Each structure stands twice: as structure tokens, then as C-alpha cells.
Structure 1
Amino acid sequence: MQEKEYGYGWVMVFIAALFNGIAVGVPTSIGMFIVPISADLGWPRGDVAFAYTVCVIATGIGGVIMGYLADRLSTRPVVAFGVVVMAGALYLLSNVSTQLGLYLLFALLGGFGAGAIFTPLITNVGYWFSKNKGLALGLATAGQAAGQSLVPFSTSFLIVVQGWREAFVTLGLIFGVALLALCVLIRVPPGHARALERAQAPAARADTTSTSLSPTVIVGWLCVATIFCCITMSTPVVHVASMALDKGFAQDEAATVFALIGITAIVGRILYGKLADYIGGIRTLLVGSTIQTAMVFWFTQIDSVNWMYAMSVLFGLGYSGVMTSVTVSVRELTPIHRRGIAMGVMTMFGWIGMGLGGYQGGVLFDLSGDYVWPFGAAVISGLINMALVSALLWRLGRDAPPGARLAPA
């Protein structure tokens, strides 16, 4: 464990928040491209939405590979590589004319672009902190929430002004130049290599958690829960803007409905991160999952612009805590020498869930002509996630001594 906290860790929190906001916000922007691409090229919405599924699954797989490489090559070169790939893929998307080309480019953007940015930087932030890990990771993932709202929100206006093809070019140019310049600030903590060596010693491996469950079992349990959790999360993230347009909202109103989810989540992730420092990551995960599941279906029942704005805020308060809590749980329940790969695998399953949620939303809409069925499926997924998290919480609590925390500091 990295026992000492360094002031530069807060610089890395800022870098991770900014980079991850863009890395996650760019794939999420497909929600703004669904309608114009479908209208221009004559493709069904489900086919266009499938690009998001391809992208996020590729991001998850790429995150495992890139997290592994970052542990051996250092974080900076891996992230810089991801920035170059992401910028290049966005430029090439401006010329796409086939569905296969759309899917291949989004796979490239996700697997070797976003995947090389998100997992290595989040893992890096965890290395810098012990006492304030929840707050630090909450701030870092707040950037992700900001990106999921602000990048698509800005993209929607680029599409109106420039058209969808030129919008891809502008995104690639701005993000590529800005992020490459900031890569020089990426570092790992002093003494990190020695901390890894100590953690891999037999004595250190023998006592990593206060539960009889192995880290592998805990991570696997959380991975399954995360799939269902992210199906619930991604259904409105990908489709709420299109739903708002179908309800007759103006383009800026639909974009605001979407943006408010992420804006709320910026604050929510910080609050959930601090809450996790007090009650642990697993309990905080259950709180966020419950609120998210309770709110998601109500989007389909509201036609008022103002009430849709309010529902975006309420849903954002739930969904904001989920991935922050998962990140803190991995930091709490896995040893340092396995944390990078654990975070990569966890992220992969989260992206799989995000992809499935976005895809099922498009497919069920195409089959039914309405968003009631896909959002109803999101509720069912949320309930399954809550059951799995509750069972893990009970299992960890059974092993904990009376009065002890569920997770090590």
C-alpha cells in the first residue's frame, strides 16, 4: 500500500478527471449522432446505437490490456498513445459511409483510445491516496460524469452548426491537441515501484483483506453486478435525448435533459466518494444503485420539459454514485499488486453493461416504437444488481469482526 499521501496526487486527480471526462464523453456522444446519422444514411436507430455497444465493449477489453501495459511501461506513454488513437478515429469517422466502417472505427476509438486513458489514470489516482481515497476517486470520476454530459451537450450544438461529419473532425482536433499537451503532467507516486515489490512478497499476500473471500471472488462478484447496474445506467444515458426529441422537445431542450444528468453527477460523485470514506464502497454502491433503479422508468411517464429536467437531476443523484463506489470497492478490497488488472477487468464488465443497455434500448425501441419497454428492462436489470450487491454486503459482513469496517483502509 502507498502509505504516504503526496500533494501532487491532487494534480493527478485533476488530470484524471479531465482526461477521463473526454475519454468517456466522446463515446457517449453517439446519442447525439443517432438521429442525424439515421436520417442522413437511412440506417435504423438500433443499428447506429450498436456503435456505442461496440465502442464500450472494446473500451473494456482495451482497458484490461492497457492497464497491464501501464503497470509495466508507466501511465504516461500508454495514455499518450490513447489520445493519438482517439483523435485519429474521430477524424476518420467524418468520412464513414458503411455500418461496418462505423463499428470498426468506434471499436478503435474505444479499445485503443478510451481504454488506454480511463483505466490507467483511475488506477494511478488510487496509488496516490490512502486516507482520502474515496474523495480523490470521487473527484476523478466526477470528471467522467462531467464529460458524459458536457461533451455530448457541446457536440449537439456542433452538429447543428457544422453537420455531423464536420463535428467529428472538430472533436478530434480539439481533444487531440489539448490532451497531448497535458500528458507531460502524468506521474506515478514516489516509491511506487518499491510498494509493488513489497505487496508481492509472500507475507504481504497472505493478509490483504479481512474476509475469507479471495480478491478474485470479490472482483468476479462485483463484475456480474456491474453488468446489470450499467444496463440500467446506460439506457437513459444513450436514449434520453432521442426520447426527448420524440416527445416534441427542441434540440436544446433535449440536450439539456441529457446534460442535467451528468451535471448532477459531478457533485454526486464527490459526495459519494466522501461517503465511501465513512461507510465503505459496497454500502455506498447499494445506495446509488437503489436510487438509480427507482428513478429510471419515470422518464417514460413525463411529457413536461420542466419535469423532465427534474427527473434528470433525481436520476443523476443515483447514477452518480455507482461507478465511484465500484472504484473505491476495488481500491479497498484488492492488494496493490493486483489493483491495476482488477480495475481493468471491472471496467471491462462495466462497459459491457453500458453497451448492452444502449443496444437493448435501440432494439426494443425499433421493435415496439416506444421507450417504455427498454426503460422497463432497465428497471429489471437494476433490481438484479441490487440483489447481487446486497448479497455481497451480507457475505462480507458475516466475516467481519464485531464493530469492524467491511473494507480495509
Structure 2
Amino acid sequence: MSVPPVRAKESGYRWFVVAGAATMLAIAMGQLVNGLSVFFVPLEREFGWARGSVALINTAGLVGLALGGIVMGAVADRARIRDVCLTGVVAVGVCVALASRAEALWQFYVLFFVAGLLGAGLFAPLIALAGNWFPAGAGLAIGIASAGQAVGQGGVPFGAAFLIEALGWRGAFLAEGMISLLVTVPLALLMREAPRPGVSVAAAGGPSAPLAPATVVVCLSAAVLFCCTCMSVPLMHLVPLIQGLCISGSDAGGVLFAMLIAAVAGRVAFGKLADVIGPMPAYLTASLWQTMAVFAFTRIEGLSGFYVFAPIYGFGYAGVMTGLLVTARALTPPARRASMMGVILSFAWLGHGLGGFQAGYFFDVAGSYVPGFANAAFAGIANLLIVGGLMVAVRRGRFDPAGARIRTRLRSPLTPDDPPTSGAEGGVVVPARSIRS
């Protein structure tokens, strides 16, 4: 039995789920992933801390996201989604507001670690929830939901730059925390699970995969560790890189905002592309785009050059996360999807923390961002090698030993005109025309 279609009265609600997920990810992840970038210079001026030490505040939050992703992903497979989301949004809002009272580095480290640890209950569960509401065309839905993070990664630093100028860094932290709570708590309360698939599909565990789930988790975790090490360097250090050229913080924040607005379009576009050519080719394409372009930021010397190049980079790099998420959805069993995504994404947050820290560290050592951005490019190459190897392994694993039937799919779940049939071993056999790799 195929997954039952979403009833008409639920069709509108599922798009509300996507919009709500995008909004919560925009506000929460915008603060946790790179929202601290515009606070680097004010904190340096206030306390005299080294840039590497300030960057560790963000790293502490990302380590919290990594550890929390494993725990909260597993919890999300068992608990009500609204409870998981509510825990996450309250933790982020309260911890960011309390940062306005911090006086020592360890206090920032603890607050952002806790925010990440509990805020991790948002990303993997919300992405899994958005995809589960769409039996077909999940790539577009996931692309839109994950685009919220791109909006936040551009919008939060951009808005925070003006808040800092108007209220100081303490007032900016307090305002961010309060706005976060006011917007995200009502949305968290309105989230609910998608309808469950039919009994026979659930009993079968969903369509069989070409690789063991443990292999998929290991490979994607390794890939995303390097991928996000590359990705995080411009996200965390583009603003201070531009400020180092005697450009104001608000103008530098505007460049980051322009890059991440382009990233919104990129996430949606690559989500649709994943529905057309398959998630792994889409993931590989975006990874190549990001890797080839990241070092070029260090070669730009004027504000106009940054405004031209940053959106080009942003559109392509944004497809990496969409490609990863849709690939993970295609290669993991539905019953364990949130927990497996939590593990994979934990390595993404570790990569973000590693990339941001190493760029700050090498800036302190060399007085330049060239080494940090070069390391980002090398990490991107490592990601490409792993993803390429995984795609080859998946293609080889498509066929059963006799080569007569294709037993997996790397696109959306079964459509009504692609009914499953019983295989010799009791698995689900998917017609060849529903495959993309």
C-alpha cells in the first residue's frame, strides 16, 4: 500500500508547516550559526579579546548543536514535535537575551553552548517534519524550509548590525532574544506531525536502500564535516574580512545579507533540481560551486566587488545543505529519519565550528584571512571526493544480484502511478523510472 494522499483540508496546513519551519529556522539558526559575526569587533573593543577567542563563542554554540542534534533527533522520533520545537525556541531566545548580561568569555561559551544543545531540537526535526508532509516533491518543500536558515543567516547579522549601532552590543543581544521568543513560541505551539504512511509500508520499513543505513550515516557525516568547514568561513568571517578593508560594519553586514538573500533562491532552486535530477547530483553540483569560489573572497578589495561576487557565491553554496538534506531523506528509513539526520547534522555543526575557529586562529597568527579561506577550499575538495565516492557506491547498489530489478529510489516516495510490488525477499520494489542518483 502506498502512502495515502494528504487530504484536501490538510493541503493548506502542510504549507503552513513549511512556512513555520522556515521562520523558526531563520530566527534560531540565524543567531546560532553566524549571527555572532557582527559582534566580533564590538566584543574585541569592549574586552580586548583575541578574535580566535571570540570565534570560540560561536564554536561553543555549534558544538552544542552537534551534541544536541544527536539527542534531540532521537527524541523527535518519539516525542511530540511541538514539545521538541518549544524547547528549542525557548532555549535560544532566553540564552541570547542573557548574553546581554555576560561579563566573561566563559559565560558566553556556556550560554551559546546551552542554546545550541537545546536549539538542536529545531533543525533536523523540522526538516524531517516538512519532508514527511509531502509524499511527493519533498525536495522543493525541504528547499523552502531550509531556505529559512539562509534568510536568518543573512537577516540576523544584518539587523543586529543596526541594533548594535543603535543600542550597543548588550542592547542588541537583549532585543534579539526578546524578538526571537515573541515570534517563534507561537509557531512552535502550532506544529503537528504529518499523517502516518499506510500499514504495509510501515511494516516493510519503507523502500529498501542501496546501502546500509550505518554506511550512509558515516559517509554523509564525513562529507558534511568537510563541507561545513568550508561553508562556515565566509559565513563567520566575511563581515570582519570586509571591515578589515576600512568598510563600516553596516555595509559589511549588507554584503552578507545580499549573499544570503541569494542563498534563499539557491536553496529553493536546488531543492527543485534535486526533484528533477536526483539529490546526490544536486549535492555534488552545489559542493563544486562552493569549493571553486570560496577562496576568491580574499582577492576582492572593494565594496562593489563584494556586492557583485557574494550573491553569485551565495546562490551556489546554498544548494549544498538542500542537497544534503534531500539525500539523507532518500537514503534513510522513515522511522529513524529524524535521529539519523540528527547524527549527520551534528557533524555539520562541528564543521561549522571548526571552520569558523580555524579562520579566526590563523588570522591571529598570520594577520590575514588568506590561510583560513585556503583551508576552507581544501576542506571543500575533501567533501567532493567523499560525495563522489558515495554516489558511485549508490549507483552500484541499485541492482539486486540478478540485476533484474531496481530495488531503491533516490527521489520522492511512491507516486500513485508507481505502485510497489512485492520482491522475492519481501522488500519493496520500485519501478526504474522513479530512480535518480
- Alpha-carbon offset, residue 3 of structure 1: 4.4
| 1:266-304 Cα shifts (integer Å, max 9, x gaps) | 001000000000111111110000000111001101102
| 1:352-409 Cα shifts (integer Å, max 9, x gaps) | 1011010001001001000000000001000110111111111111233599786153
Question: Which residue in 1 is equivalent to 2:208?
Answer: 208
Amino acid at match of 2:149: Q
Question: Which residue in 1 is equivalent to 2:330?
Answer: 332
Q: TM-score, normalised by structure 2?
A: 0.88
8 A Cα contact 1:2 1:127, kept in partner: no
| 1:110-152 Cα shifts (integer Å, max 9, x gaps) | 111x212222211111211121100000000111110110011
Question: Which residue in 1 is equivalent to 2:139?
Answer: 134
8 A Cα contact 1:134 1:274, kept in partner: yes
Question: Which residue in 2 is equivalent to 1:279?
Answer: 277
The alignment status of 1:407 with 2:413, answered yes or no, reads no
Specify the SS of the correspondent of 2:205: helix
Amino acid at match of 1:171: E
RMSD of Structure 2 on Structure 1 (CA): 1.7
Question: Which residue in 2 is equivalent to 1:175?
Answer: 180
CA distance in 1 between partners of 2:304 and 2:114 (Å): 38
Question: Which residue in 2 is equivalent to 1:161?
Answer: 166
Question: Which residue in 2 is equivalent to 1:26?
Answer: 31
- Alpha-carbon offset, residue 70 of structure 1: 2.1
CA distance in 2 between partners of 1:208 and 1:291 (Å): 31
Residue 43 to residue 198, structure 1, CA distance change in 2 (3 Å):
farther
Question: Which residue in 2 is equivalent to 1:122?
Answer: 127
The alignment status of 1:45 with 2:40, answered yes or no, reads no
CA distance in 1 between partners of 2:165 and 2:171 (Å): 10
Residue 29 to residue 408, structure 1, CA distance change in 2 (3 Å):
closer
CA distance in 1 between partners of 2:189 and 2:78 (Å): 18
CA distance in 1 between partners of 2:38 and 2:3 (Å): 41
| 1:242-264 Cα shifts (integer Å, max 9, x gaps) | 00000111222211111122100
1:145 alignment partner, one of 145, 150, 168:
150
2:42 alignment partner, one of 24, 31, 36:
36
8 A Cα contact 2:19 2:145, kept in partner: yes
Amino acid at match of 2:135: S
| 1:190-222 Cα shifts (integer Å, max 9, x gaps) | 3x2x65x75663x437x522x2x2021012101
**Greater CA deviation, 65-74 or 31-40?**
65-74
Question: Which residue in 2 is equivalent to 1:89?
Answer: 95
Specify the SS of the correspondent of 1:94: helix
Specify the SS of the correspondent of 1:73: coil
CA distance in 2 between partners of 1:2 and 1:164 (Å): 50
Aligned length: 401
Amino acid at match of 1:316: G
Residue 385 to residue 406, structure 1, CA distance change in 2 (3 Å):
farther
8 A Cα contact 1:60 1:349, kept in partner: yes
Specify the SS of the correspondent of 1:129: coil
Residue 302 to residue 335, structure 1, CA distance change in 2 (3 Å):
same
Amino acid at match of 1:407: L
Specify every segment of 5 or more residues in structure 1 that has no aligned partner in the other structure, as ranges. Answer: none
Specify the SS of the correspondent of 2:368: coil
CA distance in 2 between partners of 1:391 and 1:310 (Å): 34
- Percent identical among aligned pairs is 36
CA distance in 2 between partners of 1:346 and 1:121 (Å): 15
1:372 alignment partner, one of 352, 359, 370:
370
CA distance in 2 between partners of 1:279 and 1:406 (Å): 12
Question: Which residue in 2 is equivalent to 1:65?
Answer: 71
CA distance in 2 between partners of 1:365 and 1:304 (Å): 20
8 A Cα contact 2:73 2:343, kept in partner: no
Amino acid at match of 1:154: G
Equivalent runs, 1:248-267 vs 2, <5 Å: 248-267=246-265
CA distance in 1 between partners of 2:107 and 2:3 (Å): 44
8 A Cα contact 2:76 2:339, kept in partner: no
Residue 331 to residue 242, structure 1, CA distance change in 2 (3 Å):
same
CA distance in 1 between partners of 2:222 and 2:377 (Å): 16
8 A Cα contact 1:333 1:408, kept in partner: no
1:9 alignment partner, one of 1, 5, 14:
14
Amino acid at match of 1:4: P
CA distance in 1 between partners of 2:409 and 2:310 (Å): 32
8 A Cα contact 1:396 1:406, kept in partner: no
- Alpha-carbon offset, residue 337 of structure 1: 0.6
CA distance in 2 between partners of 1:133 and 1:11 (Å): 15
The 4+ residue runs of structure 1 with deviation greater than 4 A are 197-200, 401-406
Residue 399 to residue 96, structure 1, CA distance change in 2 (3 Å):
same
**Greater CA deviation, 232-241 or 119-128?**
119-128
Question: Which residue in 2 is equivalent to 1:346?
Answer: 344
CA distance in 1 between partners of 2:189 and 2:62 (Å): 27
8 A Cα contact 2:93 2:178, kept in partner: yes
1:314 alignment partner, one of 312, 320, 335:
312
Question: Which residue in 1 is equivalent to 2:82?
Answer: 76
CA distance in 2 between partners of 1:165 and 1:25 (Å): 18
Q: TM-score, normalised by structure 1?
A: 0.94
